[in-house]
Amino acid sequence: MDRRSFLRTSALGGSAAAATTLAAPAYAQGKRTLTMVTSWGRGLAGVFDAAQRVADSINAMTDGSLTVDVKASGELVGAFEVFDAVTSGQADMYHAADYYFGNQHPGYFYFTSVPFGMTAQELANWYYHGEGQGFHDELGEIFGLKSFLAGNTGAQAGGWFRKEINGPEDFNGLKFRMPGMGGEVIGKMGASVQNLPGAEVYQALASGAIDGTEWIGPWADEKAGFQEITKFYYTAGMHEPGAGLTLATNLDVFNELTPTQQKIIEIASGECHQWNLAQFLNNNGSALQRLQSGGVKVLEFPDTVWDAMGVAAKETKDQYNGDEIYDRLRASYESSMAASSGWIVRSESAYRDQRDRVAG
């Protein structure tokens, strides 16, 4: 029995029972309301914006035949419960970072980010013109989802710390918030890894429940207020060099929609992906300047830390080898990354180096 059949016939910890009251689609004169659950607190800079953006685009382009009702984390289900809510039929769609659901299948890590993985442009290359979207669909057939990339944060910062990191040994015993494979990497380096929803991170850092955190980058981090608690900020990290966000619709619900409505969801997701990436990149530079003016110390990890992260990253990715889909997906991802990088390094990266040198 595949997981979709199982979900239809099991209680799934009570969520299937809830589905009978929450999942019935709303029809009125040919109109339908789709409930979108998200992993984001209402108003979280950038990430909740992306969820709202794709919902607003679907509402507008379908001319009212579809209305997407956006729920922030905790308003219907918790931040990390959105996957099961949609696969079980409790909600119609989710907006989240798919690496939250690597416990469902390790392939899902790759649709957000993996350590030392793809930049935002490299991810788009693989997804739209390589095999990425096909793998997203293959996993979706197992779990009853139709998924699209629908947002990207760009390269994320290494994070906020209460003290400077001078070597790999400084991660020993460090209580640090980092989801996904990145969290597994620093766990191998001795950190006590916490996986908290974004809306809970500020309070955990302020109370001392955690010693440090990564979130996204200067703009979103400034909005979250982490600079009020600590002043040590590492601006480059190995964990999310181009983190994709996902809109996933229950596959049965998606198949009930008209071809026009299905295409609108696809187009709205793709537009949101580029819009959201530009939103983060446009705002990060000025936010970093403000943080520095406010006394934040901008730092980079020493090479010894990068080296230790690299060793732990390979161990982390290798531990999932042996799953047939994972093995094919990882090979496809890494092949595409090498090809994309091979050109970008020799063209755009070389140009930027010369531009900065000439500009002096």
Q: What pLDDT, on a 0 to 100 scale, did the predictor assign at position 18?
A: 38
Cα gap 356→28, rounded to integer Å: 58
pTM of the complete model = 0.90
What is the three-class DSSP state of 68? strand
Neighbours of 173 (CB within 10 A): 11
**Strands, E assignment, the chain:** 26-28, 31-38, 66-71, 93-96, 145-152, 159-161, 175-177, 192-194, 212-213, 232-234, 244-250, 297-299
What is the three-class DSSP state of 298? strand
Q: Are 174 and 210 in contact (CB under 8 A)?
A: no
Residue from 121, 103, 137 nearest 254 by CA: 137
pLDDT tens for the chain, 360 residues long, are: 454 443 433 333 333 333 334 444 444 457 999 999 999 999 999 999 999 999 999 999 999 999 999 999 999 999 999 999 999 999 999 999 999 999 999 999 999 999 999 999 999 999 999 999 999 999 999 999 999 999 999 999 999 999 999 999 999 999 999 999 999 999 999 999 999 999 999 999 999 999 999 999 999 999 999 999 999 999 999 999 999 999 999 999 999 999 999 999 999 999 999 999 999 999 999 999 999 999 999 999 999 999 999 999 999 999 999 999 999 999 999 999 999 999 999 999 999 999 999 987
Residue with tokens 């959201």: 276
Q: Are 59 and 113 in contact (CB under 8 A)?
A: no
Cα gap 298→158, rounded to integer Å: 11
Q: What pLDDT, on a 0 to 100 scale, did the predictor assign at position 29?
A: 57
Q: What pLDDT, on a 0 to 100 scale, did the predictor assign at position 12?
A: 35
Cα gap 140→178, rounded to integer Å: 25
Residue with tokens 């442009």: 121
Tokens read off for 26: 């709303």
Residue from 299, 182, 168, 181 nearest 230 by CA: 299
Q: What pLDDT, on a 0 to 100 scale, did the predictor assign at position 30?
A: 76
CATH of segment(s) 3-152+241-281: 3.40.190.170
